[in-house]
Amino acid sequence: MGKAVRALYCLLLMLGVVTGQAGSAGRALPNWLTGIIAVAVFLFLVFITFLVNKAWCEDSSNSQVEKVTVTENEYSMTITNLESVRSQEYDGAYENVIIHKSEENVTAM
Amino acid sequence: MNKSVEDSGNRVTINNPADIAVIIGYFVIVIGVGIWSMFKTNRGTVGGYFLAGRTMVWWPVGASLFASNIGSGHFVGLAGTGAASGIAVGSFEWNALFIVLLLGWLFVPVYLTAGVITMPQYLKKRFGGTRISLYLSVISLFLYIFTKISVDMFSGAVFIQQALGWNIYIAVIALLSITALYTVTGGLAALMYTDTVQTFVIIAGAFVLMGFSFYEVGGYSALLDKYSSALPSISLSPDLQRLNISPHCYTPREDAFHLLRDPVNGDLPWPGVLFGIAIVGGWYWCTDQVIVQRCLAARSLTHVKAGCILCGYLKLLPMFLMVFPGMISRVLYPDEVGCVVPDECKRVCGTEVGCSNIAYPKLVVSIMPSGLRGLMLAVMLAALMSSLASIFNSSSTLFTMDIWTRIRPQARDRELMIVGRIWVLCIVAISICWIPVVQAAQSGQLFDYIQSVTSYLAPPIAAVFFLAIFVKRVNESGAFWGLTGGLVMGLCRIGPEFYFGSGSCLIPSKCPSLICGVHYLYFAVLLFFCTGILVLLVSYCTSPIDDKHLHRLVFSLRYSKEERVDLDWEEEERGRNARREAEEKNKAVCDEDKTGNGRKSGLSRLIAWFCGLSGSQAPELTEEEVIEAAKELPDISEDPVWKHVVNANALIMMAVAVYCWGFYA
């Protein structure tokens, strides 16, 4: 707790010094400070959104589990398909042909 | 516009070996990459030609998004407006950082899982009926020709005339021919790979120019100091009876280094900047064929997202590469770039309204040493060709998949490929015919007209797409009447503005302030909300669309695995039957003819290879095969590890963007 308080004091002191010296184009705060304040506010909002998201997801956790299993099935299905299409020459590469073919079916008119 | 420009002494021709070598090297590289990509993908099918076979990884996607967006219009327009009114014009670019993330995370998953190629096709599946998709196709083609193509060609023309003094027709025809060449032959794959090269060229060249300009003006702080005193020496009108020039028309703005300006008096008010540009940006990045097509060509959703992040980072650069050099140009050449007396301006650049558009070309001509001038020309060509090529390809996609298939449903892949390529040639011809119009329009006004046309016609489309994806209740009548109402509102504003002219600082327009007094960004916001309300009203008064028609077409149902009954099933079925009949007839004719010449001549085979038309045509799927294909669903699942990596990167990019906004607010 002491460390946090000390950090806060340092920040406030810096702020005071900086506003005393400020003067670029008649601004109240120098540019980089407004930038940092904006980022801090943004990260705070992201954090809040994350918490809200977590809270909401707890309610509908049942449907989430269902969704996850379905996705996993799809994922493993994809893996099986991809394994059969591995290229001989390069590790981690796949033949173009099959991907193209399946995509063609999807976009068939 | 031509004579006075040629008379001024600043003719710099590219006639030394260094410049010429650079330009030739550039063209060799671009054409080489185009030819290499021809071997890499199958261009003979619809999926291969229009969507690069869906095999693109993230870096061509990101680079192509950037290069398709940055055209010569950005160089001339951003620098010119920056010279005239400061850095606020850069907010158009920095707003896109967030919109491009919306594209990758919210819109593309739905487009991918819907399995569509064009945006009107998506609306057809989502709503059924044909009038909405027809409206969208026509309006999109209209907007392409009147805004994107004309802006880029006009800017290219300004640059060519200012920096090179070439005959405008020869230069534009040569450029368009080279662009058409690799568009027609290579399709989207060629475009995306060449766009990667173009991106490097654009950024490298623009960085070089930025370095030289900052060196000339004495550094960043020198720019901050000198900009406010960049006044032209000739500021009194020779004829005070007719024209009294008030000082605020030629004095640099006080808020020149602020992105967020006064909401009532500013030239770009901050609510408009934050919300209006977001809406127009939403149309451009999330619902427009040119941009979305590049995302649809990606290998997987993770690659789309990574490409969007790359594009976002690249979009940080135009503020420093184009806006600041534009302001430096005004500081270094206040009498030319910042001219205010009409006769003086006409002498300098051929237009009475103002000469801020020559800001960037002036820097290229005056500051760059030889060898590097050739590089800057290559940069402008790269920007021009990449944007034009993307627009050509996408308009060809729209025309082929949405309009031609309506006229001839029995058209097979091969015919569609040929029609697509012929349409590119038609659009090139239209663009060439557009040059005299571009020259006749007063150059100062053209950019305002472009902004107006986009701000008054795009918001209804953005509203309808946004609601279509997120609100299941929206149905066909709601969308149609919303679009129509929005169009009428937009035309009510465009009409008087075009009729009275947008005026200038010296001679304000006579347009009544009730109509033209509302800033175009505010009007965009107003139009967006009015259209949205109209769509929702009409939708709730009419019957809803059943869920069974909406699986994988809306955001909330994007992961659903259930069978979808397509609303456009009947029309598709008619098309498939027509194609099956045509195939039967073809087979009958072929069987009779089998004894005839089995060998094609060498020339026709060469042409076929060049155009990417493979010899054999895949047979049309039978009914059972179609049903089976529909069961095979497009995959938008993501590897969890990469998903988190990509999400973290997006957060970092947003933080960087917020810092930059805060820095210059």
Between A34-38, B156-160, B547-551, B631-635, the lowest mean confidence (pLDDT) is in B631-635
Q: How far is A36 from chain B (nearest CA, A)?
A: 6
In chain B, residues with a C-beta closer than 8 Å to the C-beta of A69 are none
Distance from C-alpha of B429 to C-alpha of B437, rounded to nearest angstrom: 14
Q: Which amino acid is at B124?
A: K
Residue B132 has pLDDT above 70, yes or no: yes
Per-residue pLDDT, B6: 38
Distance from C-alpha of B294 to C-alpha of B68, rounded to nearest angstrom: 9
Tokens of B367: 């500051």
Write the CA distances from B510 to B494, B499, B514, B517, B653, integer angstroms.
14, 10, 11, 11, 45
Distance from C-alpha of A34 to C-alpha of B660, rounded to nearest angstrom: 10
Residue A67 at interface with chain B, using a CB cutoff of 8 Å: yes
Distance from C-alpha of B649 to C-alpha of A101, rounded to nearest angstrom: 32
Give the burial class of B370: count Cβ atoms within 10 A of its Cβ; 0-12 exposed, 13-18 middle, 19 or more buried.
Answer: middle
Taking Cα atoms as reference points, which of B330, B366, B362 lies closest to residue B85?
B330
Q: What is the pLDDT along chain A (109 residues), one digit of tens a residue?
A: 555 566 555 555 655 555 554 444 456 788 889 999 999 999 999 999 999 988 887 766 555 444 444 444 444 444 455 555 555 566 556 556 544 444 445 554 5
Residue B2 has pLDDT above 80, yes or no: no
Distance from C-alpha of A83 to C-alpha of B65, rounded to nearest angstrom: 31
Instruction: Give the residue on A whose Cα is nearest the Cα of B656.
Output: A39
CB B499: neighbour CB atoms within 10 A? Answer: 10
How large is the average pLDDT for residues B531-553? 88
Q: Are B505 and B253 in contact (CB under 8 A)?
A: no
Residue B488 has pLDDT above 60, yes or no: yes
Q: List residues of chain B with CB under 8 Å from any CB of chain A.
A: 41-42, 45-48, 51, 53-55, 115-117, 224, 257, 299, 405, 559, 561, 572, 575-576, 618, 621, 626, 629, 632-635, 637, 639, 651, 654-655, 658-665
Beta bridge partners of B508: B503
How large is the average pLDDT for residues B580-591? 76
Flag if A42 and B660 touch (Cβ within 8 Å).
no
Per-residue pLDDT, B653: 94
Taking Cα atoms as reference points, which of B323, B328, B383, B13 lies closest to residue B161?
B13
The residue with greater pLDDT, B204 or B51, is B204
pLDDT in tens, B13-40: 556 788 888 888 888 888 888 788 877 7
Fold type of domain B17-234+248-567+634-664: Sodium/glucose cotransporter (1.20.1730)
The residue with greater pLDDT, B382 or B631, is B382
The residue with greater pLDDT, B30 or B238, is B30
Taking Cα atoms as reference points, which of B95, B84, B389, B395 lies closest to residue B251?
B84
Q: How far is A100 from chain B (nearest CA, A)?
A: 6
Flag if B53 and A78 touch (Cβ within 8 Å).
no
Residue B460 has pLDDT above 80, yes or no: yes
Flag if B115 and A38 touch (Cβ within 8 Å).
no
Write the CA distances from B219 to A72, B83, B214, B225, B590, integer angstroms.
56, 17, 5, 10, 74
Q: How many residues does chain B have?
A: 665
Flag if A106 and B632 touch (Cβ within 8 Å).
yes
pLDDT in tens, B179-195: 777 777 767 778 888 88
Residue B562 has pLDDT above 70, yes or no: yes
In the block, which residue shows the tokens 């558009």? B357
% pLDDT > 90, chain B: 25
Tokens of B33: 């990459």
Q: How far is B155 from chain A (nearest CA, A)?
A: 33
Q: Please work out, in degrees rounded to the nearest 5, the angle formed at the alpha carbon of residue B326 by the alpha carbons of B27 and B197.
A: 25
Instruction: Give the residue on B whose Cα is nearest the Cα of A33.
Output: B663
* pLDDT grade for B463, boundaries at 50, 70 and 90: very high
Per-residue pLDDT, A84: 56
Q: Are B383 and B345 in contact (CB under 8 A)?
A: no
Beta bridge partners of A86: A94
B113: left (phi over 0), alpha (psi -120 to 50) or beta: alpha
Beta bridge partners of B261: B269
CA B277: distance to chain centroid? Answer: 15
Residue in A74, A78, A108 closest to B629 by CB? A108
Per-residue pLDDT, B324: 93
Q: Are B297 and B62 in contact (CB under 8 A)?
A: no
Q: Are B111 and B296 in contact (CB under 8 A)?
A: yes
Q: Crossing angle of helices B640-664/A31-59, nearest 10°?
A: 140
What are the residue boundaries of the structural domains of chain B, listed by start? 17-234+248-567+634-664
Per-residue pLDDT, B604: 66
Give the burial class of B78: count Cβ atoms within 10 A of its Cβ; 0-12 exposed, 13-18 middle, 19 or more buried.
Answer: buried
Residue B465 has pLDDT above 90, yes or no: yes
Distance from C-alpha of B116 to C-alpha of B27, rounded to nearest angstrom: 34
Beta bridge partners of B269: B261
Residue in B46, B55, B639 closest to A107 by CB? B46
SS3 B189: helix
Beta bridge partners of A94: A86
In the block, which residue shows the tokens 């707890």? A58
The residue with greater pLDDT, B193 or B575, is B193
Alpha helices in B287-333 (DSSP H): 289-296, 301-314, 318, 324-332
Q: How far is B526 from chain A (nearest CA, A)?
A: 27
In chain A, residues with a C-beta closer than 8 Å to the C-beta of B639 are 75
Per-residue pLDDT, B524: 94
How large is the average pLDDT for residues B505-511? 75
Residue A24 at interface with chain B, using a CB cutoff of 8 Å: yes
Q: How far is A61 from chain B (nearest CA, A)?
A: 16
**What is chain B's alpha carbon radius of gyration, rounded to the nearest angstrom?**
26
pLDDT in tens, B386-435: 888 888 888 888 888 888 888 888 888 788 888 888 888 888 888 778 77
**What is chain A's alpha carbon radius of gyration, rounded to the nearest angstrom?**
27
CB contacts < 8 A, A to B, total: 88
Q: End-to-end alpha-carbon separation of chain B, Å?
A: 38
Distance from C-alpha of B390 to C-alpha of B388, rounded to nearest angstrom: 5
Between A62-76, B272-286, B369-383, B633-647, the lowest mean confidence (pLDDT) is in A62-76
Residue B596 has pLDDT above 80, yes or no: no
% pLDDT > 70, chain B: 86
Q: How far is B627 from chain A (nearest CA, A)?
A: 10
* pLDDT grade for B10, boundaries at 50, 70 and 90: very low
Q: End-to-end alpha-carbon separation of chain A, Å?
A: 65
Residue in A32, A103, A109 closest to B575 by CB? A109
In chain B, residues with a C-beta closer than 8 Å to the C-beta of A100 are 42, 47-48, 53-55
**Mean residue pLDDT across chain B:** 82
DSSP for A29-80, written as a single string: S-HHHHHHHHHHHHHHHHHHHHHHHHHHHHHTHHHHHHHHHHHHHHHHHHHH
B556 secondary structure, DSSP code? G
B619: left (phi over 0), alpha (psi -120 to 50) or beta: beta
pLDDT in tens, B41-64: 766 677 777 777 788 899 999 999
How large is the average pLDDT for residues B133-142? 88
Distance from C-alpha of B52 to C-alpha of B434, rounded to nearest angstrom: 30
Give the burial class of B638: count Cβ atoms within 10 A of its Cβ; 0-12 exposed, 13-18 middle, 19 or more buried.
Answer: buried
Taking Cα atoms as reference points, which of B379, B361, B374, B378 lies closest to residue B18?
B374
